[in-house]
């Protein structure tokens, strides 16, 4: 009975941290406002691709399956987007990572965040990633400052972005092993 009572008391507190900012459909419309078509492309990575991606990203992948959305206007590719959910301290966050056709990062937006709000990165911090390629300066403490008090969040997001940029290079653009 005590457990049940505590659950009822603590449930609103735990739900207070749960925040969904955009659905997948809303996010895709937001990042590709001019698109007249958004194509879905399933990427199934083989062992060689995984090894090359992990080497370039300098982090481990959490899956071999990724869904890339390609924003199109007529025959022109506007960019690519990946929605990624990853674990933080005890809960998760979902982000959309958008890549320009040249392989640079266009933007990153948080779609859902389930940790306490003080651990959530600001929009200003997320803008530091804009127009950046996958390179050695795309690391916390090098080209991107760490977030004081939110190290786990900033590290998880950095790994996600680096992985998605490397997957784009190797599996979407074909700049790596088959």
pLDDT for 57-85, tens place per residue? 999 998 999 999 999 999 999 999 999 98
> What stretch of H or E contains 31?
helix 24-31
Quickly tell me which residue has 């869904």 as its tokens: 67
Backbone angles phi, psi at 41, to 5 degrees: -135, 115
Residue 127 is assigned to a structural domain of this protein: yes
Residue 3 is assigned to a structural domain of this protein: no
Residue 136 to residues 58, 74, 132, 143, Cα–Cα distance (Å): 10, 35, 11, 8
Residue 11 is assigned to a structural domain of this protein: no
- Taking residues 151-155, report their average pLDDT: 76
The predicted pLDDT at position 121 comes to 81
Question: How many whole angstroms from its chain centre is CA 114?
Answer: 15
Q: Would you say 84 and 94 are in contact if contact means Cβ atoms under 8 Å apart?
A: yes
User: Can you give the length of the chain in residues?
Assistant: 178
CB atoms within 10 A of CB 128: 14
Residue 67 is assigned to a structural domain of this protein: yes
Pairing of strands 76-87, 92-99: antiparallel
Residue 114 is assigned to a structural domain of this protein: yes
Q: Report the distance separating Cα 85 and Cα 64, nearest Å.
A: 14
The predicted pLDDT at position 148 comes to 65
Q: Would you say 49 and 177 are in contact if contact means Cβ atoms under 8 Å apart?
A: yes
pLDDT tier for residue 28 given thresholds of 50, 70 and 90: very high
Per the structure, the complete domain to which residue 129 belongs is given by 16-172
Give the burial class of 78: count Cβ atoms within 10 A of its Cβ; 0-12 exposed, 13-18 middle, 19 or more buried.
buried
Residue 1 is assigned to a structural domain of this protein: no
Range ranked top by mean pLDDT from 19-23, 24-28, 119-123? 24-28
Entry pTM: 0.84
pLDDT tier for residue 87 given thresholds of 50, 70 and 90: confident
Q: How many domains does the chain have?
A: 1
- Contacts for 167 with CB less than 8 Å, ≥ 6 apart: 43, 45, 53, 61, 66, 68, 82
Residue 178 is assigned to a structural domain of this protein: no
CB atoms within 10 A of CB 8: 9
Per-residue pLDDT tens digits for 89-126: 777 789 999 999 999 999 999 998 888 888 888 888 88
CA atoms in the 13 A half-sphere facing the CB of 114? 13
pLDDT at 164 over 90: yes
Residue 52 is assigned to a structural domain of this protein: yes
Q: Report the distance separating Cα 62 and Cα 94, nearest Å.
A: 14
pLDDT tier for residue 17 given thresholds of 50, 70 and 90: low
């Amino acid at each position: 009975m005590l457990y049940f009572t505590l659950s009822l008391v603590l449930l609103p507190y735990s739900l207070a941290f749960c925040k969904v900012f955009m659905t997948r459909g809303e996010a895709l419309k937001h990042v590709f406002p001019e698109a007249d078509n958004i194509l879905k492309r399933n990427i199934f990575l083989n062992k060689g691709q995984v090894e090359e991606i992990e080497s370039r990203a300098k982090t481990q992948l959490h899956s071999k399956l990724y869904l890339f959305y390609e924003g199109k206007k007529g025959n022109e590719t506007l960019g690519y987007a990946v929605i990624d959910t990853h674990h933080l301290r005890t809960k998760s966050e979902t982000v959309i990572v958008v890549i320009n056709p040249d392989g640079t990062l266009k933007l990153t937006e948080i779609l859902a965040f389930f940790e306490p709000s003080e651990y959530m990165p600001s929009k200003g911090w997320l803008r530091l990633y804009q127009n950046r390629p996958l390179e050695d300066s795309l690391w916390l403490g090098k080209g991107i400052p760490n977030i004081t008090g939110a190290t786990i969040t900033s590290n998880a997001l950095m790994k996600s972005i680096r992985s998605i940029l490397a997957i784009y290079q190797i599996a979407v653009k074909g700049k790596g092993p088959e």
